[in-house]
Structure 1
Amino acid sequence: MVERRIPKPHDLLPLMQFKKPEFNARRRRLAAATTISDLRTIAKKVTPTAPFDYTDGAAEGEISLARARQAFQDIEFHPSVLKNVANVDTGWDVLGERVAFPFGIAPTGFTRMMQTEGERAGASAAAAAGIPFTLSTMGTTSIEDVKAAAPGGRNWFQLYMWSERERSMALVDRAAAAGYDTLVVTVDTPVGGARLRDVRNGMTIPPSLTPKTIVDALPRPAWWINFLTTEPLAFASLDRWSGTVAALIDTMFDPTVGPDEVKYIREQWKGKLIVKGVQSVADAKLAVDLGADAVQLSNHGGRQLDRAPIPFHLLPSVVREVGKDAEVHLDTGIMNGADIVASVALGARFTFIGRAYLYGLMAGGREGVDRAIQILSGEIVRTMKLLGVASLEELQPHHVTQLSRFTTLQPLPEQSSLSARRPSTAKPAASPARKAPARKPAAAKG
């Protein structure tokens, strides 16, 4: 029999743990968010459909984005036990300077459209965390103002080459004069991808007041109040555009950009140079030959070519080929600190977060970005400790297995009996790699 008794006051007091109430709704929501997915849920509630879908969506069927995220979910970690992981060092040198964590904020366009604090919030949060912030050519805060928002931070500038070369290089000159130390040249955008959510939403830059957007705004008044009562949405690179993002890209960007343009930029830019948008081993080797200090494996967050290669799957092959000559960076699909740890283990020196940062920004401005960084950094530390590693240098390929859901189809041999009866319908595993001038690079692997 269990003996029961009436609890005494001195027994109850230790159990009564009342938290101080938080009356600020934003801070209360952010404190309750424990994952990037939680921040996404908050962001969707407080942001109008068109800006949220511009951030959340990808090209066409959004297959590239889904596959990139699935690739990170399909990893298997191999921990070591009986290791001293009381203290974990999450930093190391990236392009000659130390970072506190092996991730930074990726360039994102039209950022103040997602939340009015925009790039200033991202740059200042990144500086406080000891990680780089990358300003996009299509940013909505000027090069100089972003630097002023984070004067002690590490600021990088992302460049699209336009048809008007002088305008592109004028931005490069401004970035150098403002103290940006790294230039990120994006090479996967000869034309804009088919971002169908934007088309269906009728999204324009800046957003237009239509009956549809007004109805959508009713449950989200704070976003519209901020949008209408702060400085007008403007861009670091142009004055105004009233069409879709894809149409803007098709109008401004040059589909003829080739190796000579990258070589020219390398000659003009005295800081570190990253070539972003690399999607094959052959192109990684070409970028290094052209003078890149780092190649960034990226399919543009799935926003350009749908069904593009998965950057995380390409990582080991690219590291083997160019890792001794340049750093290998990676983006697309990162939603958890474990994704970053796995990337480092397979050879990435650095990774970038785009949507993960923007979900935090939409959920709570600067405080939301801080929360996104806190979530990812906490996940990095916890994953490293559970793996039994105390520093990034200790992370090695044997800590991670990439599990695959796909099998590459190979063409049937011509001499087979089946082939003799009917033509083969199987397709090759991959298209031939693009050749660089004056050399014959190996076919792309992975």
Structure 2
Amino acid sequence: MTAQTAPGSFDAFRTIDLRGTHLSTAELRAAMPRSTTSSFESVASRVEDIIVAVRSRGFDALSELAQRFDGVEQFHPRVPAEALSEALRALSPDVRAALEESIDRARVFALAQKPQDVVVEIRPGAALTQRWVPVGRVGLYVPGGLAVLASSVIMNVVPAQAAGVQSIALASPPQKEFGGLPHPVILAAAELLGVKEVYGIGGAQAIAAFAHGVSGEEDRTAIEPVDVVTGPGNIYVATAKRLVKGMVGIDAEAGTTEIAVLADGTAQPRLVAADLISQAEHDPNAASVLITPSVELAAAVRAELSIQAKSTRHRERVETALGGPQSGTILVDNIDHGIAVCDAYAAEHLEIHTDQAPAVAARIKNAGAIFVGDYSPVSLGDYCAGSNHVLPTAGTAAFASGLSVFTFLRAMQVIDYSADALREVSEHVVQLAQAEDLPGHGDAVRVRFS
């Protein structure tokens, strides 16, 4: 295994050569390109301080943090109703149409995901039910840093509404240039979806406010605690979600975006390069990874990256991301080897540009979302595919799922036995209770028939 700067027009996009290697799963995971600039451990103490401050000092802490991190003065972070309606009135008709289309497609998919209750009579008079019950209240976070992710409003709100959540609160960082309110397109999207409880709170402090709640004082309305917190964000947001998990549910520890592309010699280099750039423009720490058995394709993609990166609006950001340790080409022996690497990497977004792409996609076990073929780019999923773009990152797709209706539902079991049905199994309960030295369990059954 070698890591090197490969020859070509875009030398910063490094190469990891895994050809001819026989690595264990642990070794393969260790060989994957990952960012070295930020980790949970590096920011945990600072995030913990923010959470403690919000929990103990409430709105005073939120005001101080808004001044420190966002440069805005605020007495209360709640966005006025008139600001929401004005943002929608001022929205470009073309952008509104795009948001409405995205909402419609996301709602169709979300409603189709909602599971049915299951009722089973396993014996006469012995009925078991699994009910799907929505959580009571959710706090949804929408980033507002380098990119204005109005689409994340849709991705958070639509599945919550489809699940039947009755109380939805949304937070996004306050913007100095917009009078201390979140970006107006984010506000317009919230209004379009009927979300009236919107806050100008950013980063870890938003997660803390949702998880712990903020007591009302003087004429400042309280922020009620939530049951589930969802939404993407930077390392501070992801760390805050990790620290409050257990007190509230979370969707996943979604950090900086990433894309992996599994491609063979049939792939079109310009499409692969364009898709790698599309995610690199999110953040200088974004990860863009090409996995291929074709040295020729790797060279052609590097050449395309050089050409396309020069003309993209966020060139500096893109080139930083593509040149970072989290990005590069991984050379593999063949597609089978490439699939194993994909599963070790467990990408947030995985594109398949190979011969028989649907069959290859069906073999992938670890990915947040899979995009199949030339006409399913990640950017489609970001906006209008109908799928959800809030997905697990940094390898967590090996055990975590993306945001969906299931994020906002709980499976509740209902047990309903008749006297005859209990009598039929009563001696088994008694015997198991005695085996576990819990005789009171058996007595609770016996007493019903004494």
TM-score bracket, normalised by the shorter chain, equals: under 0.3
Q: In terms of Rg, which structure is larger?
A: 2
Q: TM-score, normalised by structure 1?
A: 0.23
Higher strand share: 2
Name which structure has the greater RCO, CA cutoff 8 Å, separation 6+.
1
Q: TM-score, normalised by structure 2?
A: 0.23
